[in-house]
Amino acid sequence: MRRRNEHVNPLPHHRRIPFRLVAGPAAAALALAGALLIAAVAVGAQEHPAEAHQHAAAQALENPVEPTRESLVAGRQRYVFLCRQCHGNRGAGDGDMSHAGGIPSDFTDDVWTHGGSDGEIFTVIKEGVTADMQGYANQLRDEDIWNLVNYIKSLSRD
């Protein structure tokens, strides 16, 4: 019979792990380290300027993928799955997730907050700029990002 407020361990008796509350200096240090990590991530996401600006290093990147029909089709496919929910069907920044608090870029206007060169757009997609617009380096190959750049640039020409 169980005692009142006794922890029930689902593992067999010979494999049970004691349930104990960790306390003391080690727990305080761990909590502090976790808080500092969260703060560093939050600050890193906010370091990027909100006003329009350019990035010289990213401007130097040249797009190795010509904006052919095939590139635009491939870029549109990636856009539909990864970008449309925030930036909208036509890139006007009016996607379903745009109401969640962030302000997605409008690709149809002439304002490119983080720079409008192919290299700057590539860098924003790859590395991200805010907590809302995180980088896709772990999800997309560089060629896929260049195709996306070509497609996004085509939205401002329509």
Q: Is the pTM of this model over 0.85?
A: no
Q: Rounded CA gap, 58 and 51, in Å?
A: 17
Task: Please answer whether residues 81 and 140 qualify as being in contact, where contact means their C-beta atoms are separated by less than 8 angstroms.
Answer: no
Q: Could you list the residue range(s) of the whole structural domain that residue 87 is in? A: 56-155
* Residue 118 forms part of a structural domain: yes
16 domain residue, yes or no: no
Domain count, the chain: 1
Q: What is the pLDDT of residue 97?
A: 85
Using 70 as the pLDDT threshold, list the residues of the chain that sit under it. 1-52, 157-158
d(CA 40, CA 77): 34
Alpha-helical (H) ranges within 47-141 are: 56-59, 69-82, 84-87, 118-127
> What CATH number is given to the structural domain containing 104?
1.10.760.10
